Structure 1
Amino acid sequence: MGFLKKFTKQELSWMMYDWANSAHSVIVVTILPIFFDSVAEYTADSVSSMSTWGYATSIAMAIVALSAPFLGVFGDIRGMRKKLFTAFLALGVLSVAGLAFTPGMDFTSSTDAAGRVAAIVLVLYILSTIGFDASCIYYDAFLTDITTEDRMDAVSTMGYGLGYIGGSTIPLLIFLIMNAVGIPMLTCLGVIFAITAVWWLVFSLPLLKNCQQTSGKPYEKGDIGRNIKGVFATIREIGADKPMLVYIISYFFYIDGVHTIISMATSYGTNLGLDSAGMLLALLLVQVLGLPFCLLYMKLASRFGARRMVGVGICVYMFICIFAFFMNSLWQFWMLAVLCATSQGGIQALSRSMFGKLIPDRDRSGEFFGFFDIFGKFSSILGPTLVGAVSALAASRMLADQGLTAATATAEQVDAINKAAGPYGILSVIIIIIAGALLYFFVLPRTLHGDERKI
């Protein structure tokens, strides 16, 4: 890995958190929905686990999004950023460790038992997501502490790349090997959730040890109250900064497609009746391809600029939504996975570094990244909620058209209707991406005209 030699110890330590938390992204975000779908089949209301999962994701994102600006403010107090990062890291790790026990619980004996296990899974999933996303607020804010503006694109993109080749790939590969050698699926799930918790904790240690907060101001009496009030002043400041305002609103829309595809991919594939093992192998391919495509995005961004490369990613995701609507077989899921791999890491990494360059005051980077996060998380509420609502509405209409209800339809009829309704939920996401694309391609360039900040 000679390409890492140009990075400093602090930069590498910061990147390792992407390596650490990516285990959560691939195991909890993509494998847990498959397990939840199995549990949901035994509950009293098994019509659409996809809708339930979408709503749970939205609840978790709403909690983080509403608290993000205030969390960011507290992280700008000198010495607090790492403490708060550690607290939310612990919440996430402990929640995933709790998930390790759920596959061993009895959920097949009765609908009540299944309902209890499903509720436990959802609560732990929500808590782990809060820990993951809140810790990332402080992780992102550390970017302005550990590197310079001219190196942000490379450092941010390489972080995502290492996450793909490490945390996203190795735990998933372990899971697939255990499954391939004949270990029972529920045992595989319990073991891999435990491994994910340990992985997340261990590979977070370099950041905890080597990355220090250099921005921010020392705490003075009354700072917390003043800073909370200052959040509303920052809202006005962002509103007056046209390039930042337009960029962050466009980001709100286009990143919705990225987050929704990531969080709903396996739930959507399961809803279509695709083979779980085949989908997981396709996801493994995404992780393997993630690093080379991140490196490609990094190289092209240095030549053509981060703004152009993010634009390429937006176009790719619009096509992905259309492709997903027509998907009905495993080989098409593989094609979808490859399409995601080309731009998933690059668009997220370069979006993060672009925003970092727009921050006017590095001593308040935590606060500004808190607002960046709130827009990203609210987009993550909108997408899954839209998918869940449109899928449920389409399913209800299809049931009504056949003179059926959820109570009178057979299991086979429900499965067929869910399969037919799911694509409409996925297709609805393209509306949001188009809104972001219009702002990004047509409004943002006008606001940047003559602006000294280069993104």
Structure 2
Amino acid sequence: DDEPVIIEGYNSAVHDGVDIDVAATEAGEHLLEIVNTGEADEASSGTAMVIGEATVMQPPRTSDLLAILGLLFVVEAIGLAVAVVVGGPLFSGLADTMTTKRTIILALIVYSAIAVWGFFLDSVVEFWFLAFMVAVVQGGSQALSRSLYASMSPKALSGEFFGFFSVMSKFSAIVGPLLFVAAVTVFGSSRPAILGLIVFFLVGIYLLTRVDETEGRRVARRADDDAAAAGIVESG
């Protein structure tokens, strides 16, 4: 308010390390000036004061929990309405043509696009949109990958197969961040590291195109029949 901030700095003994908080009533540029005139207290006219450090603190945040919950409810309601009205006619034919493998490949293609876009990311809006795209494909790709894997796994060996699946998942959770850190160390930026993730997606797409789902299920059923004949598992 263009009024000076008066700080009584007089003390009969030498002291330092005193913290004083000055709160601004509104955002913007503010000037903090220390003037020792001795007008307020003649005894302090010879006092020397120095600003050792000035720290700009974050303004206090108000709780917007109700507003956030309201927005989430609105988003869910709109999504449900769109799914009911548009989802059926728009995606019914697509669901008939998209197999599990094709859907996973589509998710990997979207991930590749996300990696490329992440390299050129330049605004907060783009960041939120990419986060939305990740949310769209992340859950579905994980669930479908397990479904595809289970359809080609013999029941008698399901523990062994999914044990291997789990180990490889943990291994990828170690290798991926290590390669990301290595790319950041070499290039000095996270952008090339994000772009480098596209290699994993392209390799995954190539390997999936080599998978014969029909043959995999046939081999799994034959293994189940052999196990049933040997009395290891029940048939069917």
TM-score, normalised by the number of residues in structure 1? 0.28
1:75-104 CA deviation, whole Å, 9 max, x = no partner? xxxxxxxxxxxxxxxxxxxxxxxxxxxxxx
Match runs of 1:218-367 below 5 Å: 304-360=98-154, 362-367=155-160
Instruction: Give the counterpart of 2:193 among 425, 440, 443.
Output: 425
In 2, Cα distance between the equivalents of 1:365 and 1:301? 28
Maintained 8 Å contact 2:101/2:208: no
CA change 1:288–1:326 in 2 (3 A) is farther
Residue 383 of structure 1 corresponds to which residue in structure 2? 176
Deviation at 1:342, TM superposition (A): 2.4
Contact 1:322-1:427 within 8 A present in 2 as well: yes
1:416-455 superposed matches below 5 A: 421-441=189-209, 443-445=210-212, 448=214, 452=218
Corresponding residue number in structure 2 for 1:370: 163
Larger RCO of the pair (alpha carbons < 8 Å, separation 6+)? 1
Structure 1's unaligned 5+ residue stretches are 1-178, 184-283, 396-420
Amino acid at match of 1:351: S
Q: Letter of the aligned partner of 1:309 in structure 2? A: T
Q: Counterparts of 2:76 and 2:64 in 1: how far apart (Å)? A: 24
Does the CA contact (< 8 Å) of 1:314 and 1:433 recur in 2? yes
Q: Distance in 1 between matches of 2:103 and 2:150?
A: 16
Letter in 2 for 1:434: L
Instruction: Determine if contact 1:357/1:453 at 8 Å carries over to the other structure.
Output: no
1:367 CA displacement: 2.5
Larger radius of gyration: 2
Distance in 2 separating the partners of 1:336 and 1:423: 14
Q: How far apart, in 2, do the equivalents of 1:452 and 1:337 lie?
A: 39
SS at match of 1:328: coil
Aligned residues: 145
Distance 1:356 1:329, change over 3 A: same
The amino acid of 1:366's aligned partner reads G
Q: 1:363 to 1:301 in 2, by over 3 A?
A: farther
Provide the rounded CA distance (Å) in 2 between the counterparts of 1:366 and 1:452: 19
Report matched runs for 1:94-109 at 5 Å: none
Query: Is contact 1:320-1:336 (8 Å) kept?
Result: yes
1:394 to 180, 183, 187: 187
CA-CA distance at 1:368 after TM superposition: 1.6
CA shift at 1:348, angstroms? 0.7
Q: Give me the CA root mean square deviation.
A: 3.7
Post-superposition offset of 1:354: 0.8
Partners in 1 of 2:76 and 2:211 — Cα distance?
33
Q: Are the counterparts in 2 of residues 301 and 308 from structure 1 also a CA contact under 8 Å?
A: no
Which amino acid is 2:218 matched to? E
Indicate whether 1:181 and 2:63 are aligned.
yes
Deviation at 1:451, TM superposition (A): 5.7
> Structure 2 length normalisation: TM-score?
0.51
Q: CA deviation at 1:350?
A: 0.5
- Report the structure, 1 or 2, having the larger helix content: 1
Cα distance 1:370–1:327, how it changes in 2: closer, same or farther (>3 A)?
Answer: same
User: Does the CA contact (< 8 Å) of 2:151 and 2:217 recur in 1?
Assistant: no
1:318–1:433 CA contact under 8 A, matched in 2: yes
Q: 1:327 to 1:365 in 2, by over 3 A?
A: same
Partner of 1:375: helix, strand, or coil? helix
